């Protein structure tokens, strides 16, 4: 009988915490034999909001979108390298849109049974609870969610993989 974890998605946003999540995801995929995918969302929803509220002019929107797409490529490449170093196959996805909804859509499209995310930032005000995009995703996805914590311990597990 197959185990409960067969299809893992790790969400990457360029933060140290999300890189730790990727290392954890590689460890878990190796030990369970699960398939592994990684997602980076270019937050075009926020970009559009900044243009609508007239904070950004059109040239800024284009410039920042290019920056974000370059970031996406850079961080997805990094995660690919983390996986390949441990001979773990990985599928990479870059999506544009609102973070929480793109995570949810990919979880559903790929029939993911475990979403791995990095440690969430500390809640410092009521607004933080309302607007944390990854927390919204965590609450709305239909699968189990794992929050990877303890950067040093996760790195040590990752390093010890054959």
Q: CB-wise, 20 or 43, nearer to other proteins?
A: 43
Rule CB under 8 A: choose which of 2, 3, 53, 162 binds other proteins: 53
| Phi, psi dihedral angles at 42 (to 5 degrees) | -80, 115
Quote the tokens at residue 48.
Answer: 């559009």
Tokens 């009988």 -> residue:
1
Tokens 């592994």 -> residue:
36
Q: How far is the CB of 49 from other proteins (least distance, A)?
A: 6
Quote the tokens at residue 34.
Answer: 């699960």
Binding track, positions 28-47, relative to other proteins; x by CB under 8 A = ---------------x--xx
**Among candidates 61, 60, 59, which has minimal Cα distance to 48?**
61
Binding stretches for other proteins (CB under 8 A): 13-14, 43, 46-47, 49-50, 53-57, 59, 63-64, 67-68, 71, 121-128, 131
């Amino acid at each position: 009988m197959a185990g409960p974890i067969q299809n893992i998605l790790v969400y990457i946003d360029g933060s140290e915490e999300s890189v730790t999540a990727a290392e954890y995801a590689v460890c878990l995929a190796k030990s369970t034999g699960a398939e592994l995918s990684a997602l980076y969302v270019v937050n075009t929803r926020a970009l559009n909001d900044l243009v609508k509220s007239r904070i950004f002019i059109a040239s800024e929107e284009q410039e920042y979108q290019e920056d974000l797409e370059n970031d996406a490529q850079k961080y997805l490449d990094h995660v690919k390298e983390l996986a390949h170093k441990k001979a773990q196959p990985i599928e990479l996805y870059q999506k544009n849109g609102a973070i929480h909804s793109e995570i949810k859509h990919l979880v559903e499209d790929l029939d993911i049974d475990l979403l791995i995310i990095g440690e969430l930032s500390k809640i410092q005000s009521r607004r933080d609870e309302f607007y944390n995009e990854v927390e919204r995703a965590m609450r709305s996805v239909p699968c189990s969610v794992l929050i990877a914590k303890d950067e040093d311990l996760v790195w040590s597990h990752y390093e010890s993989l054959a």
